[in-house]
Amino acid sequence: MDALYYGDNLNILKEHIKDESVDLIYIDPPFFSNRNYEVVFGDEAEIRSFEDRWEGGINVYIEWMRERIKELHRVLKTTGSLYLHCDWHASHHLRVMLDQEFGEHNFRNEIIWCYRGAGYPKKDFGRRHDNIYRYSKTDNYIFNLDDVREEYAETTKERFSHYIGNVRNGIDFGTQSLNPLGKQPDDWWQIQPIAPSSKDRLGYPTQKPEPLLEKVIKASSNKDDIVLYAFCGCGTSLAVAQKLGRHWIGIDISPTAIKLIEQRLQKIGAIKEQTYTTINTPTTVNDLKEFKPFEFQNWVIDELKAKHSKKKVGDMGIDGYFSKDLWHEEAGIQVKQSESVGRNVIDNFETALKRANYKRGYIIAFSFSKGAYEEVARINAELEIKLIKVSDLFYKKSPIL
């Protein structure tokens, strides 16, 4: 029932998700901010290249989103809802497109997620909110108002204290009564983002706070329902769904993100209880050749159970390393997503090892030239360098695994 898919969500939706099989969809897609992120994940400086650039402009972006919205509409149950999270860059374009695909009559709310923050522009008002568009598929949709009620303000409770409790079983017994479960939420939610120094921050640039997802999931799904997250990023939505007793489907195009999500789910018991499966992860060396460079580097370092270099840009030729607590001695690692790695790579790695005071090093690549092996034989009198093919690593044939 619970599944984590690696790959393009358009293909995953078409090939794996059945018609009208999902109760709730929350998507937090790229925001058309035209930024290119290289993002640090976690304590070991794991990098994911997070791109938000769209050649061709807004029309290309909207059509890219439209293809996915059509598939999401198809898999949503008639009682289901979709929440699309965006910001000012393309919100007005997305709203029009959603009206076209879901129907204007199925628009339910424009939720404003507002928050405080530091730093203000000198000639503009500070931008302190995101937009979340909520659509249903039909007029018969799930909405659990009582599950998301909020506490009344103290002044309100004091002013109407003698009326509290006059609503019972949905019947109003007072002319100005307050609901004992709390007030109905408005369409603006003031929830603070995760602080940069928080232990909960995983390094993902658009990581959302759990209380935001809790409100969405509680309002528009019931226990044991299936919720779908087509851009699941660092997995906040999946973790919250798991905690709230929902089944879930997560999709992400980044293998690094998939590994991060697996680690996060493991911490809350989802993997330990064997309640989920991962689908579409790489199964051949050719799959690895299609990875983006940083994704490939992350995969190799993780397979080695080594540590990632603290600096990914300007790392001086050391992409990862074995520390003494993981290995009998320290060693540097260099990753090359290349065939026929040659002599010059060996020479440069030799220099990098000496600079870092390593006595041993490993180069991982798809294949090596004859000159590379000859150069290693020459160097090994002074340093020990080993050449490891990705195929050996992939099929667990490497002596360092």
Mind listing the pLDDT tens digit for each residue in 262-278?
A: 888 888 887 655 556 77
Q: Quickly state the pLDDT bin for 214 (edges 50, 70, 90).
A: very high
Please name the CATH architecture into which domain 286-394 falls.
3-Layer(aba) Sandwich (3.40)
DSSP letter string, 314-347: T-TT--EEE-TTTSSS-EEEEE---SSB-HHHHH
- Looking at residue 290, what is its pLDDT? 86
- Looking at residue 40, what is its pLDDT? 37
Q: What is the pTM of this model?
A: 0.80
| Mean pLDDT rounded to a whole number for the chain | 84
Question: Pairing mode, if any, of strands 247-252 and 226-229?
Answer: parallel
The rounded Cα 179 to chain-centroid distance in angstroms is 37
Q: Which of 372, 365, 370 is nearest to 398 (CA)?
A: 365
- Looking at residue 200, what is its pLDDT? 77
- Looking at residue 228, what is its pLDDT? 97
With a cut of 70, say whether residue 294 has pLDDT above it.
Answer: yes
Q: Which of 71, 20, 46, 10 is nearest to 226 (CA)?
A: 20
Q: Which of 280, 275, 279, 277 is nearest to 224 (CA)?
A: 275
Q: Where do the structural domains in the chain lie, given as residue ranges?
A: 2-149+184-279, 286-394
Q: Quickly state the pLDDT bin for 73 (edges 50, 70, 90).
A: very high
- Looking at residue 172, what is its pLDDT? 52
Comparing 40 with 344, which gets the higher pLDDT?
A: 344
- 276 with 270: CB under 8 angstroms? yes
- 29 with 87: CB under 8 angstroms? no
- Give the contacts of 42 (CB within 8 A, at least 6 positions apart): 202, 203, 260
- Where does residue 285 rank: exposed (0-12), middle (13-18), buried (19+ CB within 10 A)? middle
- Looking at residue 30, what is its pLDDT? 79
Kindly state the percentage of the chain with pLDDT values over 90. 50
- Looking at residue 48, what is its pLDDT? 41
Distance (Å, rounded) from C-alpha 235 to C-alpha 284? Answer: 25
Distance (Å, rounded) from C-alpha 204 to C-alpha 208? Answer: 9
- Looking at residue 327, what is its pLDDT? 65
- Candidates 3.30.70.3420, 3.40.50.150, 3.30.1540.20, 1.10.260.40; CATH matching 2-149+184-279: 3.40.50.150
With a cut of 50, say whether residue 252 has pLDDT above it.
Answer: yes
Tell me the per-residue pLDDT of 110-154, one tens digit each, with 9 for 90 and over. 999 999 887 888 999 988 999 999 999 999 999 999 999 999 988
Q: Quickly state the pLDDT bin for 220 (edges 50, 70, 90).
A: very high
Mean pLDDT, range 227-248, rounded to an integer: 93
Q: Which of 100, 105, 37 is nearest to 69 (CA)?
A: 100
Mean pLDDT, range 328-347, rounded to an integer: 91
Output DSSP code: residue 183.
B
